[in-house]
Structure 1
């Protein structure tokens, strides 16, 4: 179940990098603009995926407990509520996009690019949240190959359309940064259409009847009980990036750009790891619902070993060829030198972060959303921001980068203890 999602996430991370490369070819202002908009995109994605994770876990737990009607209700209400989330985010996101950008830059060119890109992306909010609801529902019943096909197709359409719409190749209009945003929206629409078509060709073992769409207080409570912490887990990086952008901006715009490039590159590492987590979650939730504690432990250990290997490979890559990685996004010598230094420091914490990543996913699968949120708060707020602020005063910008790996070490130890305590409660 994990391999199809790892492959699709690998393609997704490739899209993130390719998208950045094409935009960077326009100008560094354009690259900085999408770096500033990224937290907004990530927040929307976090809301959709986080609530989808809640839907996924509740469905799998109900199926493991042999409660088919309750599982169908959870799936139906999950889609409806996430659709509403997308509508609200679109309205408020468009209204507050310019004030948000003004917080980080006074460069009118960057702000103009950010507005052009951000508003088009936000117009596809409802499609994106609905697509991700179906993704989690298909995963909850073991239809991982369909998720792989949908996500892979979505990303490939995006990758193909990016240069065509940005630069106006062939019959396509030259749309600049708007083209990158439109390619993203078309890719998301493609993914949703594939899910709808797949559910017609081979129906899910869940039912979508009007009676199941009627809000049920108990099911909604369980959906949000896992979904809200999961959403906050995924939204916290957006908060972290915005806060670090402010801190790094006191040094130079180059450091802000380096942070944006780093998050593009790290998606190539952490998204495949997240694919393994997505494969782990429904199996663990099902066995947790069936009270198979030994299987829960085995699933956790297996996922941990695999993800540590993935992160170890990423560490080697960042230490060996940092210049080449940064050069994908910038030809500026100052940016490459600053990026090399940042990558080599940050990557020290990659491997150990696997413990926190797997533990947070396992706790969500067990319905322990608050415990998972605690781990994410440590990674993205409680430790890293104070450490970055304090270290920056003593070691300059290098202190900010050192805060990353120190945070990962402390959080890994804490998260391991949390999982051990929760596992003993069900063993």
Structure 2
């Protein structure tokens, strides 16, 4: 039974929506972990090259998140107002324009792989690996974004099981294809690090086709026509009014990650390899709250559209409490198994030690980091994207980067990692206070205009 976002009990409804997404994101995050694991079998240099790709690839992923946020908030509003035909046309127009945008972005990035990664600090020995991987990955990202936007359309109407199944399917496909294409098998040649990118492209391509078929055949959220270019552009602008600031906010993360990667690179390729593994473990560690950040906005958007501000406030506070408690549990688990986790990704003692150091310090701030992005997603859900973007600017450019630089200057990598925790704590406190102030200012009968 589809969850009742407007009338159902808040906590059970959020749990019912979030659990499938959590399982789906587990499988999706294993995408990156699987790539890191299999590529690490090729040696330190390919793993370091994969670490350099993270800031750039996450830029594209952040764009897809922004588009998804705008899509979910806008479609949820239309559904809440009873405008089903408008929701179908907007979904169609949005997917078409998203595809065109991603093809242009992928083509642009492929032309500038060398200067871009040299700017990040990649040396001559790593560039062949980076070029081999990213020249394929960028075009695969077109399908990835299609999956993300399609899934956000489904979540807007309360369906989180189908998106979870699609993410799980693509992850299993990637896991099966990775060793076959990276190391070769039978008639299949060993493609090395490029095999990991090809595996992603194939898995995302099949999942994107399945997502579109589901939207059209089962959900009726697609129509095989465009009313007019002007209507399509109006729909695109409706999505981008929220999606563009959200995309910019998410793009700030890889930009700062790129800056920090360049700083880490001064400590050698072993440090970059460990930092790249840490970035992927971060996503996996935050997966429950990432799932909640995808299911909380449709709940908030529909209830805010109906003027049910009390339910909006209760849902937000419930999410904050969960974030802090859950991430404390995750830290304990990571702390206990720190050494063993490092050994999974490398057989070099220095890399293992650096991964362990990252695990012992950085995840202490994950609960506060989760509060920060849950607050930002809640601001987007109540159609306040600029406030969400200000949170990201404050965290990343006022605290995260300056503190990271200072920590590295004073105490090396250990100082940098401690600075990350402090930045997350301060931002979470500020973001929570802003959201409380905004919710307290709302009239209980507030509705979207």
TM-score by length of 2: 0.90
> Partners of 1:38 and 1:152 in 2: how far apart?
21
Deviations 1:145-179 (Å, cap 9, x if unpaired)? 11011111011100110001111123432111111
Match of 2:295 in 1: 279
Instruction: Work out whether 1:266 is the aligned partner of 2:295.
Output: no
Q: Deviations over 1:51-80 (max 9, x none)?
A: 121011011012222333443343223212
Residue from 162, 167, 170 that aligns with 2:186: 170
| Aligned-partner SS, 2:46 | helix
Equivalent residue number for residue 332 of structure 1: 348
> Structure 1 residues 307, 212: CA separation in 2 closer, same or farther (over 3 Å shift)?
farther
Q: CA deviation at 1:47?
A: 1.1
2:9 aligned residue:
none
Secondary structure, in 3 states, of the residue corresponding to 2:185? coil
SS at match of 1:124: helix
- How large is the RMSD of aligned CA atoms in angstroms? 1.8
Q: Deviations over 1:361-413 (max 9, x none)?
A: 11111111111111122232221111111222222222211111100110011
Structure 2 residue aligned with 1:79: 95
In structure 1, the residue corresponding to 2:82 is in which secondary structure? coil
Correspondence 1:363 to 2:379: yes
Deviation at 1:415, TM superposition (A): 0.5
Aligned 1:379-398 pairs, distance under 5 A: 379-398=395-414
Q: For 1:278-317, what aligned pairs fall within 5 Å after superposition?
A: 278-317=294-333
Specify which of 67, 75, 79 is matched with residue 51 of structure 1.
Answer: 67
1:245 matched residue in structure 2: 261
Q: 1:6 aligns with which of 19, 22, 27?
A: 22
Report the more deviating stretch, 277-286 or 248-257: 248-257
**1:400 aligns to 2:416 (yes or no):** yes
Question: Could you tell me which residue of structure 1 aligns to residue 133 of structure 2?
Answer: 117
Structure 1 residue 191 corresponds to structure 2 residue 191: no
1:354 is displaced (CA, Å) by: 2.7
Deviation at 1:207, TM superposition (A): 4.8
Structure 1 residue 199 displacement after superposition: 2.7
With over 3 angstroms needed to count, the CA separation of the structure-2 counterparts of 1:252 and 1:164, relative to structure 1, is same
Whether 1:411 aligns to 2:427 is yes
For structure 1, list consecutive stretches of 5 or more residues without a partner in the other structure: none
Specify which of 150, 154, 157 is matched with residue 141 of structure 1: 157
Q: Residue 170 of structure 2 corresponds to which residue in structure 1?
A: 154
Q: Does 2:57 match 1:36? A: no
CA distance in 1, matches of 2:218, 2:422: 48
Equivalence for 2:42: 26
Q: Structure 1 residues 59-68 or 142-151, which shifts more?
A: 59-68
| CA–CA distance in structure 1, aligned partners of residues 411 and 219 of structure 2 | 58
**Structure 1 counterpart of 2:13:** none
The answer on 1:62 being equivalent to 2:82 is no
Number of the residue aligned with 2:436: 420
SS in structure 1 at match of 2:149: helix
User: Cα distance 1:69–1:197, how it changes in 2: closer, same or farther (>3 A)?
Assistant: closer
Residue 214 to residue 131, structure 1, CA distance change in 2 (3 Å): farther
Gaps of 5+ in 2: 1-16, 445-449
Q: Which moved more, 1:197-206 or 1:288-297?
A: 197-206
Contact 1:93 1:122 in 2 (8 A): yes
Select the residue among 92, 115, 130 that pairs with 2:146. Answer: 130
Q: What SS does structure 1 have at the residue aligned with 2:298?
A: helix
Structure 1 position 7, deviation (Å)? 0.5
> 1:12-62 CA deviation, whole Å, 9 max, x = no partner?
122221210000000111111111112221111111221121011011012
Greater Cα offset, 214-223 or 290-299: 214-223
Greater displacement, 414-423 / 265-274: 265-274
